[in-house]
Amino acid sequence: MLKYVKNIITFIEIIVNNEVEMKTKNPFSNSDSNKRYYSYDYFLRRTFGRKCAKIPIDAGFTCPNIDGTKGYGGCVFCSGRGSGDFCASPSFSVEEQYEKMRAVMSEKWGETGYIPYFQAHTNTYAPLEVLKEKYESALSLPGVVGLSIATRPDALPEDVVSYLRELSGRTFLTVELGLQTIHDETAKKMNFCRTYQDFIEGYEKLEGLNICIHIINGLPGESREMMLRTAGEVAHLHPGFVKIHLLHVLAGTKLAEMYKRGEFQTLTREEYVEIVVSQLEALPSDIVIGRITGDGAANSLIAPLWSLKKLVVMNEVDKEFVRRNLWQGKNIK
């Protein structure tokens, strides 16, 4: 038994020493750990001087490609929750959803700043007065240091954009736009019901605001080169924030039907890690990386099952950076 305990202690010491060595040798300046990319956690701690966390909110909105304004059925990979699978039920108020999650997070992290994240569906797709009521309610909650709003680039009417600009003068506001891919043939297949040009027009409306662009790796029909071109275009746009997602196949979606028919294969973990590191190498070092992979709800995930081990994926990205002697933006001229 004593020998077993000593072996465990030795193993832990090796891990700690490796992490310290990686941190000490890290050539990337926008980091205080072994991360060779500008992590959102580091950005928030540097900005607010403490740990901060986002609390997902489902405000009960829908999408223009669900209700027929742009199309029907929604994006083929979206569940019925519209990317809000980890939100509380929209039957609860914004305040109730926030307090439920805050209670859990405060036990884990103690004194923390919070950012309500309007995540599910399209969160600017409602009359302005409805949006104001939701957002202002969130901003009035205890511990709130900012606000994140996820939306489509083609759901930004002028009155809403004007209000977002006013909000940004009062709080740390981030508008999150789903690009996913620059390739219109993929967008059509995925039923995005908008083009890359539509995205650019929406992006330009928000000039001067904090913008987070979302991209997805592993979309059906896309090669590694296509994914890298998407990252290259994002680098050219130079938003403040980027989120990199892995395509998940969730039960009950049209994507699941395509997968079962054998119309595409999901990426392997090794393929995904290599692509992410190559994309980050192409992104300027001052762009904050909101995430480098995503979560699929375990009870509905069909593929890839390796994605359930999120920490393993993140660690593999860290190791791939070291193996290739790279960091975010290293080879940008």
Domain ranges of the chain: 31-323
What is the rounded CA–CA span in Å between residue 196 and residue 201?
A: 9
For the chain, list the strands marked E by DSSP: 52-57, 113-118, 146-151, 172-180, 210-217, 241-246, 249-250, 288-291, 301-303
The CATH label, of 3.20.20.70, 3.30.565.10, 3.40.640.10, 3.40.50.300, for the domain at 31-323 is: 3.20.20.70
Query: And the tokens for 239?
Result: 């938003």
Q: Sorting pLDDT into bands at 50, 70 and 90, what band is 86? A: low
What is the rounded CA–CA span in Å between residue 195 and residue 273?
A: 28
**Among the ranges given (133-137, 205-209, 291-295, 327-331), the one the predictor scored with the smallest mean pLDDT:** 291-295
pLDDT of residue 24: 56
Q: 319 φ, ψ to 5°?
A: -70, -35
Of the candidates 179, 35, 43, the one whose C-alpha atom is nearest the C-alpha of residue 115 is: 43
Residue 4 pLDDT exceeds 60: no
Residue-averaged pLDDT of the chain? 90
Q: What SS3 class is residue 215?
A: strand
Distance between first and last Cα of the chain: 56
CA 117 to mean position of chain CA atoms: 11
What is the rounded CA–CA span in Å between residue 18 and residue 215?
A: 31
Q: 197 φ, ψ to 5°?
A: -65, -40
